[in-house]
Amino acid sequence: MDIGFIGLGNMGAHMARRLVEAGHHVVVYDTRPEAISNLAARGAVAARSPAEVADKAETVMASLPTPDIVLAVATGPHGVIEGKRVRRFVDLSTTGAVMAQQIFKLLAARNIVQIDSPVSGGVRGAERGTLAVMVSGPRAEIATAEPALSAIGKVFFISERPGAGQTMKLANNVLSATAMAATSEAMVMGVKAGLDPRIMLEVINAGTGRNTATEDKFTRAVLPGTFDLGFTAGLMMKDVMLCLAEAKALGVPMNIIEAVARLLALTCDELGAEADLTAVVQPIEARAGVKVRAPQN
């Protein structure tokens, strides 16, 4: 099928590539010409704006970093909303339910259906096509887009209600952030007490404390000191703050997540928002005077 794809960053480039490799006709756009060229070399068709993408495909997907960028790309000047052919906008980004509902209404006025479809699984999941794809929107429209969505991961239908997929994504991401924050504190404590971090992870992963940070992130990015998970602390901070705002609106207390937000804010202040998410361990290390490292032999 004809697919438009906007946003060729760490996640989007892999998802667009998988669509091309699955045999779809993919029209791509990014603000970086080199990102477009990389996909064009694999068989995608280059476009000069989101509107041009939406001129050439009934289904337009987007993987973008922030809610305001998604809003501009979807509904702003030269945006998807101006496309002549587009019928559905599949948003793979994390925007929060409020923004998703706003975009849904704006696009609906032009007879364009938004399918809320945030993803989880990281850069590795995007590369391998194993993402969790959380869709909400009209079932018939989701069914039309599902052959393309299935090329990037496993599709989970959340609800027909606009924004429901975003709520699901935020719940997932704050758990991921919490695992990273709590594991950082526990690992630094153990190393400060003289424990071997590799043995610590082996024990934790054989016991009840195992989580995504102990099973993957620490071994892959913290112990070797590479800090190259591919997802920034700034983006996770954005997701956590969106979740806190939604929880406040719903009247749900989130004391633990507020503490996680403080560590993320500290990381962004001291290391920069572009620091890798796994770098949240570094402010804790600095204050404890130890580093959780065990380079490969």
pLDDT, tens only, 188-237: 999 999 999 999 999 999 999 999 999 999 999 999 999 999 999 999 99
What digits encode the pLDDT tens for the residues 120-145?
Answer: 999 999 999 999 999 999 999 999 99
Helices in the chain by DSSP H: which ranges?
12-21, 33-40, 50-56, 67-75, 97-108, 122-128, 139-149, 164-192, 197-206, 212, 233-250, 255-271, 281-288
CATH of the domain at 206: 1.10.1040.10
pLDDT score for 203:
98
Same domain for 152 and 47?
Answer: yes
pLDDT score for 252:
98
Cα 285 to chain centroid distance, Å, stands at 27
Q: What percent of the chain has pLDDT over 70?
A: 100
Same domain for 180 and 269?
Answer: yes
**What amino acid positions are annotated as catalytic residues?**
169
Instruction: Identify the domain boundary among 162, 189, 213.
Output: 162
Q: Does the pLDDT value for residue 81 go beyond 90?
A: yes
pLDDT score for 295:
75
Domain that holds residue 225: 167-288
Q: Which residues contact 20 (CB under 8 A, 6 or more apart)?
A: 26, 39, 42, 43, 44
Q: Does the pLDDT value for residue 46 go beyond 80?
A: yes
Same domain for 155 and 196?
Answer: no
pLDDT (average), residues 269-297: 95
Q: What percent of the chain has pLDDT over 90?
A: 99
Contact assessment for residue 103 and residue 114, using Cβ atoms and an 8 Å cutoff? yes
Same domain for 137 and 215?
Answer: no
Sign of CA dihedral 70, 72, 73, 79: positive
CATH of the domain at 120: 3.40.50.720
In a domain, 22, yes or no: yes
Q: Does the pLDDT value for residue 297 go beyond 70?
A: no
Domain count, the chain: 2
Same domain for 98 and 206?
Answer: no
Same domain for 206 and 146?
Answer: no
pLDDT score for 208:
98
Average pLDDT, the chain: 97
